[in-house]
Amino acid sequence: MTQTRRYSIFIRPLSYIIDLAILLLFASQFDFDFETSLFFYVYVAVSWVLLSVYLDFYEVYRFTKLIKITSLTFSQAVLFTLIIFSFFGFFYQFSRAPTRVLLYLFKSFSVILIVKIALHLFLKTYRKGFGGNFKRTVIIGNKPKSFQLKSFFDENPEYGYKCQKVFKSSSDLDLIKTFIIENNIDEIYCYMAAFENEALNVLINFADNNLKALKFLPDNKDIYSSKLNFEYYSYLPIISLRKIPIDSPVNQLLKRIFDIVLSSIVIILILSWLTPLMAILIKLESKGAVFFKQKRNGLNYEEFYCYKFRSMIPNPEADLHQVKKNDKRVTKVGKFMRKTSLDELPQFYNVFRGDMSVVGPRPHMVSHTHMYAENVNKFMVRHFVKPGITGLAQVSGYRGEIETDQDIINRVKYDIFYLENWSLLLDLKIVLQTVTNAIKGEKKAY
């Protein structure tokens, strides 16, 4: 149920850093004083990031052509030129000769384009020559386009796709699923006409529950919803079933900055004085550690230690059974902490470390996660993103003890909605709702 981790997730953030470094390095030629230089650097960095998001400047994939990269760079250069000249036009006291500004932009974009093309060609050479940074694929469907896609993968190793098998029929899904698991397949490509609705739903559920990317070869892309994500491998249209906003490097950066800023504020302004106070209260009532740590499953189903203030007496059932209403294991101090959610605050250390996010699907005990993964449909989809201290399901009434099957089913539904519709505004809304609920008190906060 694990997903192969690759270093390629760092390529786009690294590209941002390199490009910004180039822009700021050449900006030193303007000979501003320290304060003006700092202001100009911030202006350049913020403008660059916002413009890049708007133009999808870093939406470059392994199958993107060089002409597309050049076109993106040209569009970025035109608009960024206007932005830079706007700066000197508005802050006329910092004005520089137009030829000097144009020279700065020409040098910057020349180097940026060279670096982007060089990186793109290097990765292609690396995949073709050394077989690295590749994805294992299977294709399902005995149709001409299926074999065209297989040929595309075989004849273009620089794109980094290794087709392990073409299944001519979708009739034996058990065999296909076994092959996918045993061979650690990353992506599944299906010719949609080869599937009946029932079989297609089975495959979709399998892909979701095992963290496999599922993509489709359509007969005619015009008949499908515009909400699906279309990509082209050469001239072949490919449809992705689910596009997760947080997968975007820009969104990952924004979410990580949000997590670091908020967790730092809580750690410095609250936990710095609250931790010793809670330590005294916890120790006075019962023997044992101040912090309670427990293994949870996070991003890509990987295990990590989740930290809390200890709210129960030490007991052998802590890793097996959830806290119930009027649970005798909960101490008096623990009851107050759980009622106000103070026991969760040490998880901001997890957020700062990168194991968790402030907002995301709540992680469960490992024993419960294994059980839900086998019995609750699409439960594994939650692990496409980092778990959170709070989440959409929690502020919507599905926090705490799982009393019925419907509780976990609804929790999964809210979690999937969150990861498919993520935005920074949604995170802020959930955080504010969490604080409001903590002040008001919640029915299942025990």
Residues 6+ apart with CB under 8 A from 36: 94
pLDDT at 73 over 70: yes
* % of the chain beyond a pLDDT of 90: 33
Helix, strand, or coil here: 133? Answer: coil
pLDDT at 224 over 50: no
The domain covering 135-243 belongs, at the CATH homologous superfamily level, to: Response regulator (3.40.50.2300)
Expressed in percent and rounded to 5, the helix, strand and coil fractions of the chain are 60, 15, 30
Among positive and negative, which fits the CA dihedral 191, 196, 197, 202? Answer: negative
pLDDT at 84 over 50: yes
What pLDDT, in 10s, does the model give residues 107-122?
999 999 999 999 888 8
Q: What end-to-end distance do the CA atoms of the chain give, in Å?
A: 32
Task: Find the range with the poorest average confidence among 164-173, 294-303, 401-410.
Answer: 401-410
Helix, strand, or coil here: 298? Answer: coil
Give the single-character DSSP code of 268: I
The Cα 160–Cα 349 span in angstroms is: 37
Confidence grade of residue 5 (pLDDT, cut at 50, 70, 90): very low
What is the pLDDT at residue 371?
A: 85
Contact 149, 190 (CB under 8 A): no
What pLDDT, in 10s, does the model give residues 338-352?
888 898 999 999 999
343-364 average pLDDT score:
93
Among positive and negative, which fits the CA dihedral 327, 330, 336, 338? Answer: negative
pLDDT at 406 over 50: yes
pLDDT at 292 over 80: yes
Q: Where do the domains of the chain lie?
A: 7-130, 135-243, 249-440
356: region left, alpha or beta (phi > 0 left; psi from -120 to 50 alpha): beta
The Cα 82–Cα 284 span in angstroms is: 65
pLDDT at 225 over 70: no
Q: Which of 235, 223, 219, 139 is nearest to 187 (CA)?
A: 139
Average pLDDT, the chain: 85
Contact 212, 187 (CB under 8 A): yes
Contact 345, 265 (CB under 8 A): no
What is the pLDDT at residue 241?
A: 67
The Cα 142–Cα 145 span in angstroms is: 9
- Amino acid sitting at position 50: L
pLDDT at 137 over 90: yes
Q: Which of 26, 23, 28 is nearest to 49 (CA)?
A: 23
Q: Which of 41, 8, 4, 15 is nearest to 250 (CA)?
A: 15
pTM summary value? 0.63
The Cα 175–Cα 391 span in angstroms is: 37
Contact 311, 342 (CB under 8 A): no
Q: Which helix (H) or strand (E) holds 18?
A: helix 11-27
The Cα 217–Cα 140 span in angstroms is: 10
Task: Find the range with the poorest average confidence among 62-71, 156-165, 237-246, 351-360.
Answer: 237-246
pLDDT at 374 over 80: yes
154-183 average pLDDT score:
88
Contact 2, 301 (CB under 8 A): yes
What is the pLDDT at residue 226?
A: 43
> Which is higher by pLDDT, 271 or 400?
271
14-43 average pLDDT score:
90
What DSSP string runs through 59-121? ---TT--HHHHHHHHHHHHHHHHHHHHHHHHHSGGG---HHHHHHHHHHHHHHHHHHHHHHHH
pLDDT at 141 over 90: no
Q: Which structure tokens are listed for 112? A: 């940026």
Q: Which of 297, 292, 291, 446 is nearest to 367 (CA)?
A: 297
Give whichever of 32-36, 86-90, 207-211, 274-278 has the largest mean pLDDT: 274-278
The Cα 369–Cα 218 span in angstroms is: 35
